[in-house]
Structure 1
Amino acid sequence: MVCHFARSSHSSCHNRRDTTLMKGAFALTVLLAATTAYYFYIPLPSTISEPWKLMLIDGVFRGIMHVGRLADSLGICHFLHVVNFSMTLDAPDSVSSENLLVSDTTVGGVNARICQWTGGSAGELRRAVVFFHGGGWALGSGKKGAYATLCKKMAKDLKAVILSVEYRLAPEAHFPDQFEDAFQASKHFLQPEVLAQYSVDPERVGVSGDSAGGNLAAAVAQQVATDSSIPVKFKVQSLIYPVLQTLDFNTPSYQQNRNVPILYRPLMVWFWLEYLDADRGFLPAMIMNNHTAQDLEQVDPFRAAVDWTALLPPRFTEGYEPVVQAHGTPRIVEEVPGLLDVRASPLLAEREVLTQTPRAYILTCEHDVLRDDGLMYGRRLEEAGVAVTSDYYEDGFHGCLTFSFWPTFFTVGERALRNYIAWLDQNL
């Protein structure tokens, strides 16, 4: 009996210990789940496409940013290098396939990737697109990830030649380096003998890009259109949620979407400061539009170009008021001349320049701080006599077009990609 009692007590202790461990594990699981949910959960508009998936992607991106900033603070490396490395972890996608030749080269001294459709009859001329990837002038590559896949798809679907320009990136490069790379590569590619080398029809060449790449595409389209030394001109410009101006960070879309992933307003302003090699301490003042206050006369010639009360349809401005400061911070404009340079902010270009640019396609998304940049540019182009196709997605968000491939597939991204390529197919 004694032995039986001892065994029972021992078993009872094991049971209590197991129960305690199970309760502890359960509590830890609940805590981790709550912490994860707290980190990933962000209130999003009900009309945004697949919100939980977007929250997850945004949480991962924010985590990478935190790791990058930690590495930067410890003096290991610049945080942009960490972020860019994480975005291009996959192996270089340089594999050619049937009727598609992929090669890495230099064009006008600038690194580039060329995706060539090789099908069709011998001697048949193809159309071409010069493409600039996005990433805040600091991230991304046309040789890896979604951009490599996108350019190959464009080459196949359009039976075309796609020149993806690998322009220099921050933090090593700053404006006007990225623009100069984009322009020089375009200028070289547009030479008749170079187009002939790739069997490209000189009457059917377009320029395109997304986000910061859309900025470069718009700026290059203006420069090519007005440069008399370039005999071949772009037939079309195709801009995907382009960033186009630095004078107003309180447009309705900046106000409405300031906290919507994946491009938050402070992050977009930070990208501008990095691109223009400006003091990052200017960020709070610029968010308040102190750099364009009424007492800063040097801004006056450009104000009409970003007057969204006149340039945007009423449905986008309802409920929003302009943020205009009476007195500003003149030091910002004095130390950062790129703020008023049309090569950095194509929306500021004069009408005489805009009227020479080619037919345009501008894709914008409702849940994007850059929505109004694209809409205002479309309106200014139309006023200058340029034909514009505006492709607007009520459920779209910044970056959605490149989220049309596995594993970051969104239905709105697939629709945007399909319509983007269809427009090029019909107009190029």
Structure 2
Amino acid sequence: MKSSCVLLIALVALAAYYVYIPLPSSLSDPWKLMLLDATFRGAQQVSHLIHSLGLSHHLIALNFIIVSFGKKSAWSSAQVNVTDTDFDGVEVRVFEASPKPQELMRRSVVYIHGGGWALASAKIKYYDELCTVMAEELNAVIVSIEYRLVPNVYFPEQIHDIVRATKYFLQPEVLQKYKVDPDRIGISGDSAGGNLAAALGQQFAQDANLRNKLKLQALIYPVLQALDFNTPSYQQNVNMPILPRYVMVKYWLDYLKGNHDFVQAMIVNNHTSLDAEEAVAPRARLDWTSLLPASITKNYQPVMQTKGNARIVQEIPQLLDARSSPLIADQEVLLHLPKTYILTCEHDVLRDDGVMYAKRLESAGVEVTLDHFEDGFHGCIIFTSWPTNFSVGIRTRDSYIKWLDQNL
């Protein structure tokens, strides 16, 4: 009996040690976030073990775990009809609100889920629930795109999927089928999905042959650049759940099919050092000392290496491509973008990506709403139902949908 008690105490202590991480008191539901982070870290470690045993790629294994715990079949209710189909060969899940008698044509949002270009699905409960609520509250048609993931495809194939599906949807006969008003269509996405939505917006803004233009774009804590991993938010939130800096760098390398040996060099900005001539002009477009307000820059100092690793940009030139890093796009491209909403969270390495993009868009004359949450963390908008229900998740979702309702 005594030995059993000792063992139990030891196991509890070990579990507490694994779960507990120091977090700022301003975070929403910190203990719940610790448990969520511990669960995700555990899944990552299992997937890496599977990879090391040669059974599967770690991202495929991790995504299998994520999807297995949260996949939902298409279903319909009195308020929202949900169907799985494909648009020009790209899988999509369509959420259609029951049309109201007084509205012959409905508005629509093309939604792109997050997950580091490698994880999650339009069909897991988190995105299914978000899109269902959007369809119902906006009385809209939501098209959630099931784009292909790393490691099955790499940049720019994800963008090609998004462009292909969206262009198909924008055809007059398709819009008529879904009773969608061609003048009331927006694009949106979170995290890596926000990256793809921003890339899509820039591509469509330059497409003179596109008949139906997008009315707006709504980007939720988007990934927008891979040139500087030492912005104030990257320094402040270096180990913050559920997206520490080193994990974000690995996602970038996976997306661009780069070598993981470059992780540590990129963390200290060796890939965009002063001797990397190709990176000088792109990096100048994200000078955070001029793009961020003093309330963010505080006492943080830029990390600019004099000499770095020239091999990184030479082997991964995609790092300097505006399709992967929309924040470094030419000003002439930004001029033509539609009204924009950007949601940022204080406790997120990507906070400053969103703030800098908002500043660049405003300088280009684009109408921008920057919606910041002081107690928010990366990923929070999809965590709204038990057992992963966060108060900030509900508030970010409601604020986002309210803006769409007022502007779409």
TM range (shorter): over 0.9
- Superposed displacement of residue 271, structure 1: 0.2
- Superposed displacement of residue 123, structure 1: 7.1
In the alignment, is residue 132 of structure 1 matched against residue 109 of structure 2? no
In the alignment, is residue 373 of structure 1 matched against residue 353 of structure 2? yes
Structure 1 residues not aligned, in runs of 5+ = 1-20
Aligned residue for 1:297? 277
- Superposed displacement of residue 139, structure 1: 0.3
Structure 1 Cα separation of the partners of residues 116 and 125 of structure 2 = 16
In the alignment, is residue 382 of structure 1 matched against residue 362 of structure 2? yes
Q: Out of 112-121 and 306-315, give the one that drifted further.
A: 112-121
Aligned residue for 1:40? 19
Aligned residue for 1:160? 140
Structure 1 Cα separation of the partners of residues 305 and 385 of structure 2 = 43
> Counterparts of 1:225-304 in structure 2 under 5 Å?
225-304=205-284
Aligned residue for 1:222? 202
| CA RMSD, 1 decimal | 1.0
In the alignment, is residue 364 of structure 1 matched against residue 355 of structure 2? no
Deviations 1:111-168 (A, max 9, x none): 1111111231287100000000000000011112200111111111100000001000
Structure 1 Cα separation of the partners of residues 339 and 88 of structure 2 = 25
Which residue identity does 1:164 align to in structure 2? Answer: S
Please say if residues 187 and 224 of structure 1, whose CA atoms lie closer than 8 Å, have aligned partners that are also in contact.
no
Q: Out of 89-98 and 395-404, give the one that drifted further.
A: 89-98
3-state DSSP of counterpart to 2:285: helix
> Counterparts of 1:11-160 in structure 2 under 5 Å?
21=1, 23-89=2-68, 90-121=70-101, 124-160=104-140
3-state DSSP of counterpart to 1:103: strand
Please say if residues 93 and 148 of structure 1, whose CA atoms lie closer than 8 Å, have aligned partners that are also in contact.
no
- Superposed displacement of residue 91, structure 1: 4.3
Please say if residues 99 and 117 of structure 1, whose CA atoms lie closer than 8 Å, have aligned partners that are also in contact.
yes
Deviations 1:240-280 (A, max 9, x none): 00000000000000001011100010000000000000111
Structure 2 Cα separation of the partners of residues 215 and 316 of structure 1 = 22
Q: 1:224 to 1:212 in 2, by over 3 A?
A: same
Please say if residues 99 and 106 of structure 2, whose CA atoms lie closer than 8 Å, have aligned partners that are also in contact.
no
3-state DSSP of counterpart to 1:127: strand
Match for 1:355 among 331, 335, 339?
335
Match for 1:201 among 178, 181, 195?
181
3-state DSSP of counterpart to 2:369: strand
- Superposed displacement of residue 93, structure 1: 3.1
Return the TM-score normalized by structure 1.
Answer: 0.94
3-state DSSP of counterpart to 1:30: helix
- Superposed displacement of residue 25, structure 1: 1.8
Which residue identity does 2:387 align to in structure 1? Answer: P
Return the TM-score normalized by structure 2.
Answer: 0.98
3-state DSSP of counterpart to 2:119: coil
Aligned residue for 2:157? 177
Structure 1 Cα separation of the partners of residues 386 and 367 of structure 2 = 34
Structure 2 Cα separation of the partners of residues 253 and 225 of structure 1 = 29
Deviations 1:20-64 (A, max 9, x none): x2x212211111111001000101111111111000000010001
Please say if residues 93 and 145 of structure 1, whose CA atoms lie closer than 8 Å, have aligned partners that are also in contact.
no
3-state DSSP of counterpart to 2:345: strand
Q: Out of 110-119 and 129-138, give the one that drifted further.
A: 110-119
Deviations 1:84-109 (A, max 9, x none): 11211234231111132111111122
Structure 2 Cα separation of the partners of residues 174 and 226 of structure 1 = 23
Structure 2 Cα separation of the partners of residues 299 and 291 of structure 1 = 8
Aligned residue for 2:406? 426
Question: Which ranges of 4 or more aligned residues in structure 1 deviate by more than 2 Å?
Answer: 90-93
Please say if residues 253 and 370 of structure 1, whose CA atoms lie closer than 8 Å, have aligned partners that are also in contact.
yes
Please say if residues 71 and 123 of structure 2, whose CA atoms lie closer than 8 Å, have aligned partners that are also in contact.
no
Which residue identity does 2:333 align to in structure 1? Answer: V
Please say if residues 214 and 240 of structure 1, whose CA atoms lie closer than 8 Å, have aligned partners that are also in contact.
yes
Please say if residues 191 and 230 of structure 1, whose CA atoms lie closer than 8 Å, have aligned partners that are also in contact.
no
Aligned residue for 1:4? none
Please say if residues 335 and 366 of structure 2, whose CA atoms lie closer than 8 Å, have aligned partners that are also in contact.
yes
Q: What fraction of aligned residue pairs are identical, expressed as a percent?
A: 55
Q: Out of 301-310 and 231-240, give the one that drifted further.
A: 301-310
Match for 1:319 among 296, 299, 302?
299
3-state DSSP of counterpart to 1:233: coil
In the alignment, is residue 413 of structure 1 matched against residue 403 of structure 2? no
Aligned residue for 1:6? none
Structure 1 Cα separation of the partners of residues 12 and 219 of structure 2 = 40
Structure 2 residues not aligned, in runs of 5+ = none
- Superposed displacement of residue 387, structure 1: 0.5
Which residue identity does 1:272 align to in structure 2? Answer: W
Please say if residues 197 and 219 of structure 2, whose CA atoms lie closer than 8 Å, have aligned partners that are also in contact.
yes
Q: Out of 352-361 and 113-122, give the one that drifted further.
A: 113-122
- Superposed displacement of residue 194, structure 1: 1.5
Q: How many residues align?
A: 407
3-state DSSP of counterpart to 2:346: strand
Please say if residues 343 and 372 of structure 2, whose CA atoms lie closer than 8 Å, have aligned partners that are also in contact.
yes
3-state DSSP of counterpart to 1:352: helix
Aligned residue for 1:397? 377
